[in-house]
Amino acid sequence: MSQAPHPFTLRQLQYVVAVADRLSFRKAAERCHVSQPSLSAQLSQLEQALGVRLFERDRRRVLLTPAGAELVERARRLLVDADQLVDAAKRAGDALAGTLRIGVIPTIAPYLLPGITPAVRKQYPLLTLRWTEDKTETLVRSLDAGTLDAAVLALEARVGDVELEVIADDPFVLVTAADHPLGAKRGPVSAAEVKGANVLLLDEGHCFREQALSFCETARAHELEFRATSLPTLVQMVAGGAGVTLLPSLALSTELPRSDLRVRPFANPAPHRTIVLVWRKHSPLAPALRELAGTLREAYPEVFPLAGSTAKTKPKPARTAARARR
């Protein structure tokens, strides 16, 4: 649309309004902290630009012409809008007091979000998070396109050229039916034990599938032909005796305990994923996102005491003793 420089200045509008209020060039000039000739010059310039006489000059006083009166009203509104624009921008300057669009993968979203939402709301009461759930590849594309400000992903996936901050380490566990041989023993399960087992995995496209599959290949376990579309389905199929599976610890508190299933951690080196918050390189939101990631990292072990790597340093963190961070 408009590419030519605007025919008037916000300053000129201020002058018009000042004169309309005081009905005197001198007093208006005082109020605007400029000299009377400067103000006069700007106003006649404005009149020339608009092609309208705005004021009726008289040595005693100044009167508004009908055109001037209308312009003053518009000028007032415009100046108010301009001020509001400044205010809005200043408010928007604090990214943690606005809206952030963040993506999450399906094997994290339903387990993480309910848990950390209260902590985020508490820490950043003015922040609104707009979550988008999709597979890693889609999220990374959206991120690059600028449709998302950040994403919560597993670092082990192809994550693109981004900056990131670790939120938590999420070790995998072995899940078997209660009557399955591998579920009979307690304590950490070694890769050797799993050798030859029939393992159920997620569908293509889920990065968790790739991560679990990579472990299975190392351990020489077999993948079954059936693939599940979600973790709850996977668990259900294991309970039905179709085979064993791996689950991220994050999902445990939601999917388990179940009397028909057994869960065993893995012996080192245990398969795991690293949950990270990622954002575009050069994103001006980087500082804010880094801080947000810190908040998530701190909230994580409190909300998921069974899961996070940080939990190792605090073997039994009291679930109720969530320190309020100011």
Partner DNA sequence: TAAAAATACTCCATAGGTATTTTAT
Partner DNA sequence: ATAAAATACCTATGGAGTATTTTTA
CB of 288: closest distance to DNA in angstroms?
19
- Which 8-state DSSP code applies to residue 266? B
Nearer Cβ to DNA, position 3 or 313? Answer: 3
Choose among DNA, a copy of itself, none what residue 304 binds, the Cβ cut-off being 5 to 8 Å by kind.
Answer: none
Nearer Cβ to DNA, position 56 or 203? Answer: 56
CB of 43: closest distance to DNA in angstroms?
7
CA dist 193 to 182, 224, 263, Å? 8, 18, 14
Choose among DNA, a copy of itself, none what residue 42 binds, the Cβ cut-off being 5 to 8 Å by kind.
Answer: DNA
Nearer Cβ to a copy of itself, position 52 or 239? Answer: 52
Choose among a copy of itself, DNA, none what residue 35 binds, the Cβ cut-off being 5 to 8 Å by kind.
Answer: DNA
Task: State the residues that interact with a copy of itself by CB under 8 A.
Answer: 1-11, 14, 17-18, 31-33, 50-53, 56-58, 63-67, 70-71, 74-75, 77-79, 81-86, 88-90, 92-93, 95, 98-101, 146, 149, 280-285
Rounded to whole angstroms, the Cα distance separating 184 from 133 reads 36
Nearer Cβ to DNA, position 149 or 170? Answer: 149
Rounded to whole angstroms, the Cα distance separating 114 from 15 reads 54
Place of tokens 């890769």: 191
Rounded to whole angstroms, the Cα distance separating 222 from 232 reads 21
Choose among a copy of itself, DNA, none what residue 41 binds, the Cβ cut-off being 5 to 8 Å by kind.
Answer: DNA
CA dist 112 to 40, 249, 255, 269, 280, Å? 64, 11, 13, 24, 22
Choose among DNA, a copy of itself, none what residue 25 binds, the Cβ cut-off being 5 to 8 Å by kind.
Answer: DNA
The pairing of beta strand 261-265 with beta strand 162-177: antiparallel
CA dist 288 to 95, 168, 306, 325, Å? 6, 18, 28, 16
CB of 101: closest distance to a copy of itself in angstroms?
8
Nearer Cβ to a copy of itself, position 60 or 323? Answer: 60
Task: State the residues that interact with DNA by CB under 7 A.
Answer: 5, 9, 11, 24-26, 33-38, 40-45, 57-62, 161, 281-282
CB of 103: closest distance to DNA in angstroms?
20
Nearer Cβ to DNA, position 3 or 259? Answer: 3
Rg (CA), the chain: 32
Choose among DNA, a copy of itself, none what residue 48 binds, the Cβ cut-off being 5 to 8 Å by kind.
Answer: none
> Residue 141 is encoded by which pair of tokens?
């594309």
CB burial string 120-155: b at 16+ within 10 A, e below: beebbeebebeeeebbbebbbebbeeeebbbbbbbe
Nearer Cβ to DNA, position 62 or 207? Answer: 62
